[in-house]
Amino acid sequence: MTAVSQNRLFWILSVAVALTTAAEVFYLVVWGMWLFPAGSWAAKTVWTLTCGIAMGSVIGVATILWAEPLRGHRAALWRAAAVVIVVGSYCGWLCSTIDARLEYFGGSANAVLFIAASVIPAIIGGGLFGWLVYGGGPLAKQRASG
């Protein structure tokens, strides 16, 4: 395995955190403010941003450790996608379990829908992340030079 540049590490982590935080903000608006507006919006916002940053960081580091060594091969794209699917699905289950107690996002009343609304975007997001980082995404020059 060759050394990975700091720019490349920063780029992978940034894309992972940006995608997960954007997804979490979407959940905050739809689930936390529109469908289930009761409860503290400040607490919901802190939870959402913490989860987005933490989940993105885990995805970024796992991608660097597991997929980056195969950079240049199609397997890297699939490994990066798998990381997002596994971490995103696990986080959906974990958040559903926590929300069953806190009742911020309707997880106790709609557990199956809550988890499905995490797993399906994790599958789609995994493909998007893999494509952006290792496929034919729009930032190919930066990836190739990183």
- Give this prediction's pTM: 0.91
Ranges of residues in the chain whose predicted pLDDT is under 70: 1-2, 138-146
pLDDT in tens, 62-100: 999 999 998 888 899 999 999 999 999 999 999 999 998
Question: What own/partner pairs with CB < 8 Å and gap ≥ 24 does 130-138 have?
Answer: 130/67, 130/76, 130/77, 130/78, 130/79, 130/80, 130/81, 130/84, 131/77, 132/15, 133/11, 133/12, 133/15, 133/63, 133/67, 133/76, 133/77, 133/80, 134/67, 134/71, 134/76, 134/77, 134/80, 135/77
